[in-house]
Structure 1
Amino acid sequence: MKIYETAGFPNPARIRMALAEKNASDAVTFVPVDVMAGEHRSEAFRAKNPDATVPYLELADGTCIAQCTAITEYIDGSFDGPSLTGRSPFARAHISMMNLRAENGLLNAVADYFHHATPGLGPDLETDQCAEWGEKRKAVATKTMSYLDGVLAESPYVAGDAFSVADITVFAGLAFADFAKVDIAEELTHLHAWRARVAERPSVAN
């Protein structure tokens, strides 16, 4: 298995964290992609991943899987250890729901703000920007943080009693928010406490 990624970017960080949670980091080869040079938009890259995004996973037979949630589902089912995507029908559905809320409302919202309302990755890569849209998405991210704070007031993790892919997505989303200078309000005490606990997990601390 190969993971094509750009080190330090939010979505590759999600996959690295999932692999570490499954104790499977040594089972894959990480292949660097030079996003800043536009490698992800090349014809060769798009032939494997038409989304032109990182990361994507390439299996031994050449089959490629893109999109973080799909990659994590494959990793979760391929290696032993606690499930990140749920074992029962309810757990899978609940985790999937919360992961989508975290992805759409936080991580992707921060990304839209970063790419549209700030210089982002620079003029060569940031085309067709719409600052108004970016600012609206920033507001969505802030609202989602408040929502998650309420969720974490009632449960230890984003999707209930067990750590899951939804927690990974929120953790990456907050890291991106730091980078993009989207404030995480101090009064969101449950969210801050959860973040501190997750930061101590071996998949993050190491």
Structure 2
Amino acid sequence: MKIYDWPTGPYPARVRIALAEKNLQSAVQFVTVDLRKGEHKTADFLATKNYSGTLPVLELDDGTLIAECTAITEYLDALDAAQTLTGTTPRDRGVIHMMNKRAELELLDAISVYFHHATPGLGPQVEIYQNEEWGLRQRDKAVRGMRYFDSVLRQQPFVAGEAFSMADITVVGGLIFASLVKLPVPVECEALVAWYARMQQRPSVRHQLAMVPPPREPAA
């Protein structure tokens, strides 16, 4: 298997964490695609690897291409009977997918929009169109998302309940992105910060090149 990847990207980090959780690192070859140079937006990449122009992309030995982090994680998790990341019971699968989608919409994707629209992003060669107002709205949405996940983690040890799952990986990706864009975690989000500290003790998370603690708002 090959994974088209950018080693410090928050989205590729999600798949790297899933690979480490499944002990599959040795089964894949990483192929670096330079986001800063816009290699993921070239006509060749769009035509031959991923129509959406995003990373990561998993290429199977038979040439099948699987893009989108959730789909890749589903595939990796299904390679053995212990589907630890996406759930084994109908209930667990439903809850994990719900919380994973919320983590994407309310945190990770919102920070991505902020990055691409209200900061220099990947530079003028890649950021052809920017809408700063929209980016700032999404920044504020991401901060609300941090408060939401803080409230969830005050009630349970992991994002989707009692066990580590794909949803936790997605929130980790969101906080990696928050650190990259220097978006502070609200000072009152103590449960979220404590959870993130625990996540950084997991070898699958700790070894990510992008892993740096997100900034905190100063206490009043």
The verdict on a shared fold, with TM-score over 0.5 as the criterion, is yes
2:210 paired residue number? none
Is residue 171 from structure 1 mapped to residue 169 from structure 2 by the alignment?
A: no
| Residue aligning to 1:39 | 39
> Which residue of structure 1 lines up, in the alignment, with residue 29 of structure 2?
29
* Paired positions, count: 206
Amino acid at match of 2:10: P
Confirm or deny that 1:132 pairs with 2:133.
Answer: yes
Displaced runs of 4+ in structure 1, greater than 2 A? Answer: 79-82
SS in 1 for 2:154: helix
Q: Which residue matches 1:16?
A: 16
Alignment of 1:55-74 (within 5 A): 55-74=56-75
Report deviation, 1:53.
Answer: 0.7
**CA–CA separation in structure 2 for the residues paired with 1:10 and 1:205:** 13
1:73-92 equivalences in 2 (<5 Å): 73-79=74-80, 81=82, 83-92=84-93
TM-score normalised to structure 2 length: 0.91
Determine helix, strand or coil for the equivalent of 1:85. Answer: coil
Alpha-carbon shift at residue 44 of structure 1 (Å): 2.1
1:132-189 Cα offsets, whole Å, 9 max, x none, are 0001001110001001001001100000000001000001101111111211012111
Q: Secondary structure at the residue paired with 1:97? A: helix
RMSD: 1.1
Whether the aligned pair in 2 keeps the contact of 1:22 and 1:82 (CA below 8 Å) is no
Q: Which is richer in helix? A: 1
Q: Is residue 96–residue 160 contact of structure 2 (8 Å, CA) maintained in 1?
A: yes
Q: Report the alpha carbon displacement of residue 79 of structure 1 after superposing the two structures with TM.
A: 3.9
AA matched with 2:11: N
- Cα distance in structure 1, aligned partners of 2:81 and 2:34: 32
What is the CA-CA distance between 1:204 and the residue it aligns to? Answer: 1.8
Which ranges in structure 1 are unaligned for 5 or more consecutive residues? none
Question: Could you tell me how far 1:38 is from its partner in structure 2?
Answer: 2.0
Counterpart contact for 1:5–1:55, Cα < 8 Å: yes
Answer whether contact 2:99 2:159 (CA < 8 A) is retained: yes
Kept in 1, the 8 Å contact 2:110–2:139? The answer is: yes
**Secondary structure at the counterpart of residue 154 of structure 1:** coil
TM-score, with structure 1 as normaliser: 0.97
| Partners of 1:79 and 1:39 in 2: CA distance | 33
Distance in 2 (alpha carbons) for counterparts of 1:165 and 1:103: 11
Deviations 1:19-40 (A, max 9, x none): 0011111111111112222211
